[in-house]
Structure 1
Amino acid sequence: MTFVNPPPEAIRELLKRVKTIAVVGLSPKPDRPSHQVARALKRFGYHIIPVRPGVTEILGEKAYARLADVPETIDLVDVFRAPAQLDAIVDECIRLKIPALWIQEGIVNEAAAQRAREAGLIVVMDRCLYKDYVANL
């Protein structure tokens, strides 16, 4: 079975509903796509939580090593990690009861995405959150 993203209207509603986005793999380097996307999302009014081991702060926000370390409610996890790392991220999202998972453009792991969806998460895969925001809101 091939993974299919939610329809555009469902993605639009998700982006309107979300307030806090944990960005897994957010780079502290300004030239990296994860940094550029997170910076733009912050400008759009989202609260960004960096999730990256080995750093204490990115974009003026406290960084955490793992999703489980984040002390506040997460509405959406935006992933900038290799497809092979998605299984562990999905496990953590399911365990933490995070409602939505966004797997960035160019990252595909159909089995992990399907497992997340079967656990009740809204899942968008192989799409750019920034591009969808600009196109839909």
Structure 2
Amino acid sequence: MHNPSREKIKKVLDDSKTIAVVGLSPNPDRTSYMVSEAMQRAGYRIIPVNPRADNVLGEKSYATLADIPEPVDIVNVFRRSEFLPELARDFKAIDAPVFWTQLNVVDEAVFDDLTDAGYTVIMDRCIKVEHAILK
């Protein structure tokens, strides 16, 4: 697994406006909330994907990626690695350009499958940290 170069990651962040966050918790003490709140403050539209929440960060939450009624630029995953195969299938169905997993969330087969299918895949990287470094 080889993540894209920092230059490519910067281009992804520059070109993207909407981030669907799978596993976004409504609890402000959770990492998913803190990272998403920071990205929202940086100007990105955050779309929560959490079947147990109605709203997070002032945005309507959706049960699945397929339920989101608008295009998404980045799918940012805050779920454990064992959920990645299923999430990759859901991701392909909405055809967003970028699949991003947070720190310690890795599945080599999913990385290879999505990369081979032409998607940009970034795994085991914090989007907030990358944004802070590259902006």
Q: TM-score, normalised by structure 1?
A: 0.97
Deviations 1:57-99 (A, max 9, x none): 0000000000000001100000000101000111111121111
Dislocated runs of 4+, deviation >6 Å? none
Paired residues in the alignment total 135
One-letter identity of the residue aligned with 2:84? L
Calculate the aligned-residue CA RMSD, in Å. Answer: 0.6
Provide the secondary structure at the position in 2 that maps to 1:49. strand
Corresponding residue number in structure 2 for 1:18: 16
Among candidates 26, 34, 37, match of residue 36 of structure 1: 34
Deviations 1:21-46 (A, max 9, x none): 00000011101100000000000000
Corresponding residue number in structure 1 for 2:90: 92
Q: 1:1-137, aligned counterparts within 5 Å?
A: 3-137=1-135
One-letter identity of the residue aligned with 1:9? E
CA drift of 1:106 comes to 1.2
Contact 1:78 1:104 in 2 (8 A): yes
Provide the secondary structure at the position in 2 that maps to 1:21. strand
Provide the secondary structure at the position in 1 that maps to 2:70. coil
CA drift of 1:119 comes to 1.3
One-letter identity of the residue aligned with 1:102? W
Provide the secondary structure at the position in 2 that maps to 1:22. strand
Q: Distance in 2 between matches of 1:92 and 1:115?
A: 13
Contact 1:94 1:119 in 2 (8 A): no
Q: Distance in 1 between matches of 2:108 and 2:102?
A: 13
Provide the secondary structure at the position in 2 that maps to 1:102. strand
Q: Distance in 2 between matches of 1:101 and 1:108?
A: 12
Q: Distance in 1 between matches of 2:126 and 2:134?
A: 12
Provide the secondary structure at the position in 2 that maps to 1:87. helix
CA drift of 1:116 comes to 1.1
Q: Name structure 1 gaps, 5 residues minimum.
A: none
